[in-house]
Amino acid sequence: MKTSNGVASSLLLRLDSRSSTPLHEQLFEGLRARILSGALAPGLRIPSSRQLATELDVARSTVLQALDALIAEGYLVARAGSCTRVAPELPLLAADVPRSGTRSPSTRLRASRGPRLADAARALKSTSSGAPRLGAAPRAFRPGVPALDLFPTARWARTVSRVHARASMGLFDGGDPSGHAPLREAIASHVSASRGVRCVPEQVFITAGTQQAFDEVLRLALNPGDSVWIEDPGYPGSHRAVLAAGGRPVPIPVDGEGLDVSAGLARAPRARVALVAPSHQYPLGVTLSLSRRMALLQWAERTRAWILEDDYDSEFRHRGRPLTALQGLDEAGCVVYVGTFSKSMFPGLRLGFLVAPPSLVDVFCAARAAAPSPASTLEQAALAAFLADGHFARHLRRMRAAYRERGEALLDALRADCSGVLVPRPCDTGMQLRASLAAPLSDLRVRDEAARRGVEVAALSDYFLGRRRESGLVFGFGGVRPDALREGTRILARALEAARRR
Amino acid sequence: MKTSNGVASSLLLRLDSRSSTPLHEQLFEGLRARILSGALAPGLRIPSSRQLATELDVARSTVLQALDALIAEGYLVARAGSCTRVAPELPLLAADVPRSGTRSPSTRLRASRGPRLADAARALKSTSSGAPRLGAAPRAFRPGVPALDLFPTARWARTVSRVHARASMGLFDGGDPSGHAPLREAIASHVSASRGVRCVPEQVFITAGTQQAFDEVLRLALNPGDSVWIEDPGYPGSHRAVLAAGGRPVPIPVDGEGLDVSAGLARAPRARVALVAPSHQYPLGVTLSLSRRMALLQWAERTRAWILEDDYDSEFRHRGRPLTALQGLDEAGCVVYVGTFSKSMFPGLRLGFLVAPPSLVDVFCAARAAAPSPASTLEQAALAAFLADGHFARHLRRMRAAYRERGEALLDALRADCSGVLVPRPCDTGMQLRASLAAPLSDLRVRDEAARRGVEVAALSDYFLGRRRESGLVFGFGGVRPDALREGTRILARALEAARRR
C-alpha cells in the first residue's frame, strides 16, 4: 500500500492517503480552511499544480481537481497566463475554522446566540418539555390510534407494488395540484354514499392530512386577527392551526348537544370561521344536535362565515348508519368538509381530503395552481385503486365491528376494575371513550400516575382552553386488542388508588 | 323480480326497488327531505314501523333501519312506550331541499354569495386565469422538469415493494415527527459528502418538499409584518411563502455575483430572514460570490437574522465538484439549509428536508412535537433504502452527465436556429439555461407566441418583482431528450420571427 504523507512545505499541508476522504477533498478542505483562517493571506501566490503535486506526492490531476473547485467557489483566483493566487478581497471568518471532520453540533459552533425566534416560536420552546411525544410507540390507551393490527398490510403492499409497476410517467411527474383525479372520484363516491356529503369529484381536493387542510382553508378565510370559533374542550390541532394562520381562536363551550352556537353568537358574532366536529366531537364524543346544526348553518349563511367540518372518525359508527355530515345540510355553500385516511387506513399514510363548496372550487384551484402536488402521486394512485377495488370499504366494515367489540370490552374492563371511581360513558362511534371521575380526583394526577406505570390515558382537563368545566379521562381503545385491555385497566386501578392516596 | 313501489299514504312516500340506492336509504332520504321542507310538520306523529312496512311493501327491518337513523340524527323523536314523532323544535331550512340524487354543483345551491374570502385570497381569485397550469403535462422547454425518462422506475418500484413487504408495524404508525431516522442519517451523509453541508442526523428534518420547509422556517422566524430579503428576479415560490407566513417580502436585486447584499443592508437592514439560492440562483443561474457569502453571514450573525438556503438543483453540476453549500461556511448557526428530492428523484415524490443549525434543533423538535409525520413513512423508508443501497448516487451521476449533454445540445440548437436574436449563456449546473434577447423584443410576447405553437419557455420579465432590469428567456432542458430539442428550437425560431413582426 502506498502511503503519501507528503507535506507542501510552502503551504504546510498534510494529506493522509489512508483516510476515507479522497485526497483531492483533503487538499480542497485544507487549503480552504487555511484561506478562511487567514493563514494563507489574500493575494498570496499559490505554487503551480505541478509543484504541489510533487511536494504532496499525489497525482497532478488530484491537485487540479482541488484547485478548480477552489477557483469555482472564489477562494482562489486564476488569470490566464498568470499564476493562481488567494482571492484578494476575502472578508475573513473567525480564526478557528473547524476541520471538516468535526461533527458534534455542540463543539462546532462559536459561542453564539443564534438567530432570533418569532414570539410564537419562543413560547413553543419554553413549553416543549411538556409536549406529547408523538414519535414514541403508542401504548394502551393512547387516543387516536387505530387498529393497525387489523390493517391488511399485505394487500396494501400488493396494491402499492402493482401501481408502481404499472405507473405511467405522468405519475412520476408532479401531477394535478388538486389531487390525482381517480382518487378524487373514488372519494366523492365514498363520502356521498357513506357520509351523506353532496359533492362532485371537482369539489374534492386531496390534502396531506387534516392539519394541512385546516391550514389551507384558514389561509383563504382569515385576515390577520380574525376570530375563529373553536370547540372547548376540543382537538388541540384546531387551536394550533388557527394561531398558525394568524387568526384569533375563540373557545366556545361544548355541552351534551355539541358546540353551543348561541354562546358563539354572543362571544364572536363576526367570527369568520367555525371549526367544528359535528358528528363525533373530540374529546367529549357528543353529536351536534339538529337544531344547533341549523342554527350554525343559518349564522354562517347570514354572516358569510365559513364552517370547517372536521369529520375525523365518524365513519366508525359501531352500529347502524353513520350520521349524515353537516355538509349534506348546507344549502348556502358555507361548509368545507375535511376528511382523513389517517384513521381509516393508517397514520403513516399522509393523505386526506377536503370538499369545497361549489362556489369556492375556483378559489381552491387558484390557490393551488402554482403549487406542487399536495401529496405523493404514486401513493394517491395506490389509494385510489384500494378504494376502487373495494378493499377500503371491506376494511372499514371490519374496523367498525372491531371498534364495537373493543369499546364494549373496555367498558366491561373499566366496570370490573375501576367501578366506583370511574364512570365510563357508553360510546357508539369511533375509537375513544370518555369516563368521568366519581371521586374528587385530579385527572391530571391520575394521568401522571398511570403514565408512571406504563399506561397512557388523556386527561380531559388538558383539552380545555377556558375554564375547566369537567374532569375525566379519555381512553383510546382502537389500537388495543380486547385480550390486552384488561392488563391496562388493572394498572389503571392501581394508578387511581395511588392518586387518591396522595 | 319483486318490485315494491309502495306508497305510504300517510306520508306520501314512494320507494323504488329497482334503484341502486338501498330501500332504507330511500326511506331515510325521503322522510328527511319532507321533514326539512316542513311537509311533515314538527311534532307530527309517524305511523308505526309495522304500519309503514305494510304501506310501503318492504321488510319491517328496512323501516326500522331508516327510523333509527332519523332518530339518531335528531329528525325524529322516540319516547319509550310512546309513538315516534317529528322533532318538535326544528328550525326549517328552505322549502326546496334538493333531492339526494342532485349532483351538479351549479344547480344545487340557492342563490348565495358564499363565504367571504380573506383579502389575500380575493387577489388570488382575480389573477387565477393567468396562473401557470402545473397540472398539464410538461412540454419542451418548461423549467424545473427533471429527466424523468432516465429515472430508474423499475428499481424504485422494487425498492418500494420490498420496503412495503417487510415493513414493521411502526412504519404504518405515525412515526417520528422529525422524519424517519434512517432517512435522516442517509441524508446527513449525502449532503456532508456531496454538498459540503456540516451536520449530524439530528439536524436533518424531513419535509414534504421545499414549500413546506420555507413555510415551517418562516413561521418560526417571523412576527407579522417582519421583512424578508428575497431575490429579484427569483423563484416565485419564495415570494408566495413569505406572504403566506405574514411576512413582508423585500425584493433585493441579483447581479452577476448573486444577491446584492449591500442593497439588502440598505433597504432592510433589520430583516429577519434572507431567502437565497447561493449555489445556483433561479432564474439567473449565477452563484453567490465568496465575498458576498461572507457579508451575508456576517450580517445574519450581527443582527441574529436567519438565512434560508434554497439548494434546489446545485447537485447537478455538470462537471467537477458541486459548489460547497453556504451552510458549510456558517459558524454562527444562522443558516437553515433546504433540499428537495423533487429534482433528484421525481416531482411526484413529495419529499425534501431541511438542516437546522444545532442551536435550533430543539425549536424544530418542539414545533413538530404535536404534529403528525411530515410525509408518508413508508415512502421515507423506501427513499432511505434507495440512498443506502447506492441507487441514488448512481442516478445522480447519470443525471449530471445527461444534463451536461442536454444543456450542450440545447446551446447548439439555439445557436443553429435562433442566432442573432437569442444569446444563450453557457450553463454548468442544473437543468435550466437562460438566453438574452438581442433584438428589442418583449420576452412576454415571445413566450406567448411560442406557447401558441406548443413550445413552453419562461419569460425572464415574469420573475422580477421590482423594476424589470433584464429581459430574456429561460429554458428547461432537463426533461427534453437531445433528439427532441431541435424541433423545439425550430418552432421557437418561428415564434421569434412572429413576435418581431407584430
| CATH number of domain containing B409 | 3.90.1150.10
pLDDT at residue B249 above 60? Answer: yes
Which of A46, A74, A108 corresponds to the end of one domain? A108
ipTM of the complex: 0.85
- Amino acid identity of residue B263, one-letter, is A
Tell me, yes or no, if B211 comes closer than 8 A to chain A by beta carbon. Answer: yes
Chain A residues whose CB is inside 8 A of the B102 CB are: 198
A115 occurs within a structural domain: no
Query: Residue A14: beta bridge partners?
Result: A7
Q: What is the pLDDT of residue A44?
A: 84
**Cβ contact (<8 Å) for B121 and A219?**
yes
Predicted confidence at residue B467, as pLDDT, reads 86
Q: What is the pLDDT of residue B91?
A: 57
pLDDT, greater one: B109 or B9? B9
Same domain, B98 and B163: no
Tell me, yes or no, whether B253 and B158 share the same domain.
yes
For residues A435, A436, A442, A447, the Cα torsion angle rounded to the nearest 10 degrees is 0
Query: Grid coordinates in use for A73?
Result: 467557489
Q: Report if residue A128 sits inside a domain.
A: no
Q: Tell me the mean pLDDT in the region A98-126.
A: 58
- The confidence score (pLDDT) of residue A2 equals 38
B331 near A CB under 8 A: yes
Lowest mean pLDDT among A291-305, B95-109, B347-361: B95-109
C-beta of residue A300 within 8 angstroms of C-beta of residue A274? yes
Alpha-carbon distance A80 to A63, whole Å? 18
Give per-residue pLDDT as tens, A257-316: 999 999 999 999 999 999 999 999 999 999 999 999 999 999 999 999 999 999 998 889
Mean pLDDT, residues B133-152: 78
Q: Is B257 on the interface with A (CB under 8 A)?
A: no
Q: What is the end-to-end Cα distance of chain B in Å, rounded?
A: 71
Cβ–Cβ under 8 Å, residues B342 and B352: yes
Residue B55 in domain: yes
Q: What is the pLDDT of residue B84?
A: 87
Least confident of A119-123, A313-317, B183-187, B412-416: A119-123
In B183-222, at which residue ranges do the beta strands (DSSP E only) sit?
204-207
Q: Contact B69/A320, CB-based, under 8 Å?
A: yes
Q: Are strands A227-232 and A248-255 parallel, antiparallel or unpaired?
A: parallel
Q: Of A74, A108, A142, which one is at a domain's C-terminal end?
A: A108
Whether A106 shows a pLDDT value over 70: the answer reads no
> Residue A457's domain spans which residues?
394-501
- Measure in Å the smallest separation between the Cα of B439 and chain A Cα atoms: 31
- B176 touching chain A per CB within 8 A: yes
Strands of the sheet containing B273-276, edge to edge, are B204-207, B352-355, B335-340, B306-310, B273-276, B227-232, B248-255, B258-259
User: Which residue would you say has higher pLDDT here, A108 or B92?
Assistant: B92
Sequence-distant (≥ 6) Cβ neighbours of residue B392 within 8 angstroms? B190, B344, B345, B383, B386
Q: Which residues of A touch B323 (CB under 8 A)?
A: 69, 72-73
Give me the DSSP letters along A166-177.
Answer: H--HHHHS---T
Model pLDDT, residue B3: 37
pLDDT confidence bin for B104, thresholds 50/70/90: very low
Tens of pLDDT, residue by residue over B46-63, are: 888 888 888 888 999 999
Measured between CB atoms, does B224 come within 8 Å of chain A? Answer: yes
More confident residue, B469 or A6: B469
CATH of the domain at A51: 1.10.10.10
- Does residue B209 fall inside a structural domain? yes
pLDDT at A289: 93
Q: Is A374 on the interface with B (CB under 8 A)?
A: yes
CB contact under 8 A, A367 and B124: yes
Answer yes or no: is pLDDT of B103 > 70. no
3-state secondary structure B297-310: HHHHHHHCCEEEEE
Give a three-class secondary structure readout of B57-79. Answer: CCCHHHHHHHHHHHHHCCCEEEC
Quick check: B333 and A160 CB within 8 A? no
Model pTM greater than 0.90?
Answer: no
Same domain, yes or no: B166 and B281? yes
Q: Kindly report which listed range (A307-321, B29-43, B319-333) carries the lowest average pLDDT score.
A: B29-43
Q: What are the residues facing A423 on neighbouring strands?
A: A436
> Are the CB atoms for A288 and A335 separated by under 8 Å?
no
DSSP state of B115: S
For residue A140, being part of any structural domain is answered with no
Cβ–Cβ under 8 Å, residues A448 and A104: no
Distance, in Å, from the CA atom of A498 to the CA atom of A502, rounded to the nearest integer, reads 6
A119 assigned to some structural domain: no
Task: Report the range out of B33-42, B202-211, B480-489 with the highest average pLDDT.
Answer: B202-211
Q: Do A170 and B137 touch (CB under 8 A)?
A: yes
Measure the CA–CA gap between A471 and B293, rounded to whole angstroms: 56
Of B367, B391, B415, the last residue of a domain is: B391
Do A325 and A435 sit in the same domain of this protein? no
Whether residue A342 sits in one domain with residue A291: yes
Residue A132 falls inside a structural domain = no
Answer with the residue of higher pLDDT: B246 or A337. A337
| Whether residue B178 is found in the same domain as residue B304 | yes
Query: Largest alpha-carbon pair distance within chain A?
Result: 94
Domain membership of residue A210 (yes or no) is yes
Tell me the shortest Cα–Cα distance from B454 to chain A, in angstroms.
19
Q: Min CA distance, A283 vs chain B (Å)? A: 16
Claim to verify: residue B407 and residue B385 sit in the same structural domain = no
Q: Which residues of B489-501 are buried (b: 16+ CB within 10 A; e: fewer)?
A: bbbbbebbebbee
Task: Answer whether residue A5 shows pLDDT above 70.
Answer: no
Scanning A50-79 for CB atoms below 8 A from B yields: 65, 68-69, 72-75
Chain B contact present for A134, CB below 8 A: yes
B327 phi and psi, to 5 degrees? -55, -35
Please tell me whether residues A278 and A422 are part of one structural domain. no
Where does the pLDDT of residue A92 fall: very low under 50, low under 70, confident under 90, or very high at 90 and above?
Answer: low
Residue whose C-alpha cell reads 395506490 in the numeric block: A382
**Nearest-CA neighbor of A426 among A415, A441, A439?**
A415
Q: How far does chain A reach from its first CA to its final CA, in angstroms?
A: 71
Q: Quick check: A498 contacting B, CB < 8 Å?
A: no
Tell me how far apart the alpha carbons of residues A471 and A444 are, in angstroms, rounded to a whole number. Answer: 9
| C-alpha to C-alpha distance for B194 and B325, rounded to whole angstroms | 9
- What's the confidence (pLDDT) of residue A464? 95
Measure in Å the smallest separation between the Cα of B215 and chain A Cα atoms: 10
Asked if A378 and A164 count as a contact pair (C-beta separation under 8 A), the reply is yes
pLDDT at A110 over 50: no
Q: Are B238 and B160 found together in one domain? A: yes
Q: Is the pLDDT of residue B383 over 80?
A: yes
Domain count, chain B: 3
The dihedrals phi and psi of A276, each to the nearest 5 degrees, come to -135, 155
Contact A172, A163 (CB under 8 A): no
Q: Does B298 touch chain A (CB under 8 A)?
A: yes
Nearest by CB: B294 against A91, A105, A208: A91
List C-alpha distances in Å: A182 to A185, A316, A345, A384, B71: 5, 24, 18, 6, 35
* A contact residues 453-482, partner B, Cβ 8 Å cutoff: none
SS3 content of chain B, % helix, strand, coil (to 5): 45, 15, 40
Residues B62, B178, single domain; the answer is: no
Q: Mean per-residue pLDDT for B170-193?
A: 92
> Is A23 touching B (CB cutoff 8 A)?
no
* CB-CB contact of B435 with B425 (8 Å): yes
Identify the CATH number of the domain in which residue B170 sits: 3.40.640.10
In this structure, of B13-22, B201-210, B280-289, B290-299, the range with the lowest mean pLDDT score is B13-22
Taking CB atoms and an 8 Å limit, are B366 and A127 in contact across chains? yes
Among candidates A131, A320, A331 on the partner chain, residue whose Cβ is nearest the Cβ of B68:
A320
User: Beta strands of B61-159 (E only): which ranges?
Assistant: 76-78, 84-86
Spell A78-102 as b/e; 16+ CB within 10 A means b: eeeeeebbbbeebeebeeebbebee
Range of lowest pLDDT (A10-19, A31-40, A275-284, B385-394): A10-19
Dist CA A89 CA A42 (whole Å) = 7
Query: Do residues B381 and B419 share a domain?
Result: no
* A&B contacts, CB < 8 Å: 409
> Looking at the structure, do residues B411 and B346 belong to the same domain, yes or no?
no
Inter-chain contact A372–B209, Cβ cutoff 8 Å?
yes
What's the average model confidence in pLDDT over A232-252?
92
